[in-house]
Amino acid sequence: MRNEGGLISDRISWSRRLQDHLFTGLAVAAVLLVLLPLAAIFIDLVQRGIGSINFAFLTQTPKPVGIPGGGMANAILGTGVILGIASAIGVPLGIGAGVFLSEYGRNRSGDAVRFTADVLNGVPSIVIGIVAYSLVVLRQRHFSALAGGVALGIMMIPTITRATEEMLLLVPISVREAAFGLGVSRWRTTVSVTLRTAAAGIITGVMLAFARVAGETAPLLFTAFGSQFWSSNINQPIAALPLQIFVYAISPYDEWHRHAWAGALVLIVLIVGTIAVVRLIASRGMMKGTA
Amino acid sequence: MGVGIEVEGLNAWFGGTQALHEISMRIAPNHATAIIGPSGCGKSTFVRCLNRMHETLPETRVVGKVRIGDMEVYGNGTSAVQVRRHVGMVFQKPNPFPAMSIYDNVAAGLKLNGFRDKRRLDEVVERSLRMAALWDEVKDALKKKSGASLSGGQQQRLCIARALAVEPNVLLMDEPASALDPISTGKIEELIFQLKESYTIVIVTHNMQQAARVAEFTGFFLLGRLIEFDKTEKIFTNPSDKRTEDYITGRFG
């Protein structure tokens, strides 16, 4: 019976092949659909922004309305300062909380932290801005880079916490047992073995959090506030690219519109560049064949 | 040099389930002792009690006495970390540290416990890898390749080298060859043969031929109890207990 059915099995293989092509095609189409908006945004940004990017744009402070030239150098510096403060707060706290959740958090206090992190992740960024306002700005009695950094740092914590926890849980128990078996203490095992094994994934989580807050505008409106001048003092109001883009984009001047496009392009290039550099450095420290 | 192990009235639990009942045995120094028995009989739990690994699992409990040399394993002043530094362990599945080089894997026990002398480390790493019969295969890529890039058999020998590097008195092996092909298994067995000159070895195995090949003494476990403990030859040719005979002749298990 089986042998006589040669034709039938042929037909099955034809429909199989058709299905195979169909679903491969659908998957490719899905990929294109995902990539399309990203490519469209980037191409649009380059077309509109590249014309205004020159040496002056990258090295000078803004000029008053009507005077051509000037740039966003102070905002580029300010974004760097704010993101530095945010990372100094968000990365250690986020990784620390993630370690707690994965290594000591199989209980009610762990569940509480996990729930808090998930809720914090869903809090609108403008609300986080208000928190930083009341925590830092009201006490200092003026806007500051510090307040902006605190706001963005708080926003980084839940993403990093959950990513760290997930990545640490992926490290097999057998790897921890190997360290215990050598007489390595639990704390040392966590730091030198478990965290190190999960490092690649944790770095990815940190970069996601970093990229997410780097473009935030709302929480900076009443914390970092913005500025037209050079400043790297963390106790003074400071310019930031997203703020500058926002102010320029809603202004009525064509020159400022062009600068807003250029600023947006610079911001994206800076974020992508930072991620690429961190990944490069991280991959050098990793062993080959680690996956 | 290896030291003897004395176990007296050892009981172990997983939650409410008792996994070991009143185990008592004396393990001779500088010999290999095999632990055999059907799956779930408590073999692994037994060796994990010898270096206090059992207590790393949640909701576990141990009652009884274990003495390794002159160290009271469950004594008041003894910490688990201290015990494990003197007792090497090799696990069923090879478990090298994936994020570390071959060199760092072997040096891990010393480095992670604060040992920093580079020249001594180099010596220890080479000696341990030679003892584990892996040196010639990896000496050119010590710091370049990850421990996880080696083959399964090589990984297991790397794990043995890692355990030897801390200079333990006792080596516990929990089915060290069960995940390996016959050639790698042969290499590991050959290794056990050489290592027992200077270490006390306790090896859990599912493979009765393996027990007969490498061990002078054999203990037969069933349902969490030690049924019979004697010279390997006696266990396999003329066991005193009917249940031992049934097991080794393949009537169950």
**CA atoms of B79 and B3, how far apart (whole Å):** 19
| Interior angle at CA B86, CA B5 and CA A193, nearest 5 | 135
Backbone angles phi and psi of B240, in degrees to 5:
-85, -25
The predicted model gives A75-99 an average pLDDT of: 96
Per-residue pLDDT for B110 more than 90? yes
**Per the CB < 8 Å rule, is A180 touching B56?**
yes
CB atoms closer than 10 angstroms to residue A30? 10
* Minimum CA–CA partner of A285 in chain B: B99
Of B62, B63, B169, whose CA–CA distance to A183 is shortest? B169
The runs of H, that is alpha helices, within chain A are: 6-49, 55-59, 73-104, 108-122, 125-132, 138-140, 145-170, 173-181, 186-189, 195-197, 199-214, 218-221, 241-249, 254-285
Which of A231 and A116 is assigned the larger pLDDT?
A: A116
Backbone angles phi and psi of B239, in degrees to 5:
-65, 145
Q: Running DSSP on this structure, what letter comes out for residue A243?
A: H
Which of A104 and A286 is assigned the larger pLDDT?
A: A104
Tell whether A1 lies on the interface with B, counting CB pairs under 8 A. no
Tell whether B156 lies on the interface with A, counting CB pairs under 8 A. no
Per-residue pLDDT for A5 more than 70? no
- Residue B244: Cβ-neighbour burial (10 angstroms; 0-12, 13-18, 19+): buried
Per-residue pLDDT for A12 more than 80? no
Q: Running DSSP on this structure, what letter comes out for residue A238?
A: B
The string of pLDDT tens digits covering residues B186-244 is 988 998 988 998 899 999 998 888 999 999 999 999 999 999 999 999 999 999 999 99
Per-residue pLDDT for B140 more than 80? yes
Q: How does the average pLDDT of chain A come out, rounded?
A: 90
**CA atoms of B147 and A13, how far apart (whole Å):** 44
- For residue A180, the chain B residues in CB contact (below 8 A) are 53, 56, 84
Question: Structure tokens of A22?
Answer: 């169909």
Which residue among A180, A193, A290 places its CB closest to the CB of B53? A180
Helix (H, G, I), strand (E, B) or coil at A225: strand
**Per the CB < 8 Å rule, is B53 touching A177?**
yes
Of B67, B71, B19, B28, whose CA–CA distance to B46 is shortest? B19
- For residue B169, the chain A residues in CB contact (below 8 A) are none
- For residue B98, the chain A residues in CB contact (below 8 A) are 175, 197, 287, 290-291
Sign of the Cα pseudo-torsion (B24, B27, B28, B29, in order): negative
Secondary structure string (H, E, C) spanning chain B: CCCCEEEEEEEEEECCEEEEEEEEEEECCCCEEEEECCCCCCHHHHHHHHCCCHHHCCCEEEEEEEEECCEECCCCCCCHHHHHHHEEEECCCCCCCCCCEHHHHHHHHHHCCCCCCHHHHHHHHHHHHHHCCCHHHHHHHCCCEEHHHCCHHHHHHHHHHHHHHCCCCEEEEECCCCCCCHHHHHHHHHHHHHHCCCCEEEEECCCHHHHHHHCCEEEEEECCEEEEEEEHHHHHHCCCCHHHHHHHCCCCC
Of B99, B177, B162, whose CA–CA distance to B131 is shortest? B162
pLDDT band at B35; cut points 50, 70, 90:
very high
Minimal CA separation from B150 to chain A, in Å: 9
**CA atoms of A89 and A40, how far apart (whole Å):** 34
**Per the CB < 8 Å rule, is A175 touching B146?**
no
The string of pLDDT tens digits covering residues A214-255 is 999 999 999 998 888 888 888 999 999 999 999 999 999 998
**Per the CB < 8 Å rule, is B97 touching A180?**
no
The string of pLDDT tens digits covering residues A53-62 is 999 889 988 8
Tell whether A15 lies on the interface with B, counting CB pairs under 8 A. no
Residues 16-55 in B contacting A (C-alpha not used; CB under 8 Å): 51, 53
pLDDT band at A290; cut points 50, 70, 90:
very low
Per-residue pLDDT for B253 more than 60? no
**Per the CB < 8 Å rule, is B99 touching A177?**
no
Per-residue pLDDT for A135 more than 70? yes
The predicted model gives B90-96 an average pLDDT of: 93
Tell whether A179 lies on the interface with B, counting CB pairs under 8 A. yes
Cβ proximity of A144 and A136 under 8 Å: yes
How many beta-carbon pairs under 8 angstroms link A with B?
Answer: 94
Tell whether A178 lies on the interface with B, counting CB pairs under 8 A. yes
**Per the CB < 8 Å rule, is A192 touching B112?**
yes
Question: In DSSP terms, which residues pair with A218 in a beta bridge?
Answer: none
**CA atoms of A274 and A270, how far apart (whole Å):** 6
**CA atoms of B222 and B41, how far apart (whole Å):** 5
Q: Running DSSP on this structure, what letter comes out for residue A144?
A: -
pLDDT of residue A232: 82
**CA atoms of B252 and B234, how far apart (whole Å):** 20
Helix (H, G, I), strand (E, B) or coil at A286: coil
- For residue A179, the chain B residues in CB contact (below 8 A) are 97, 108, 112
- For residue B103, the chain A residues in CB contact (below 8 A) are none
Candidates A182, A284, A288, partner chain B, best to mutate (most B CBs within 10 A): A182
pLDDT of residue A287: 58
Candidates B71, B82, B97, partner chain A, best to mutate (most A CBs within 10 A): B97
Question: Structure tokens of A132?
Answer: 């930083």
Whole-prediction pTM: 0.83
Which residue has tokens 């490719």? Answer: A28
Sign of the Cα pseudo-torsion (A156, A161, A164, A170, in order): negative
Cβ proximity of B219 and B34 under 8 Å: yes
**CA atoms of A203 and A285, how far apart (whole Å):** 12
The string of pLDDT tens digits covering residues A148-197 is 999 999 999 999 999 999 999 999 999 999 999 999 999 999 999 999 99
Minimal CA separation from B170 to chain A, in Å: 12
pLDDT of residue A92: 97
CB atoms closer than 10 angstroms to residue B179? 16
Which of A90 and B183 is assigned the larger pLDDT?
A: A90
The predicted model gives A44-49 an average pLDDT of: 93
Which residue has tokens 């099995």? Answer: A9
Residues 6+ apart with CB under 8 A from B13: B19, B60, B61, B62
Tell whether A197 lies on the interface with B, counting CB pairs under 8 A. yes
pLDDT of residue A175: 94
Which residue has tokens 């963390």? Answer: A234
Tell whether B179 lies on the interface with A, counting CB pairs under 8 A. no
ipTM: 0.90
pLDDT band at B116; cut points 50, 70, 90:
confident
Please report, as a single letter, which amino acid is at residue A228.
Q
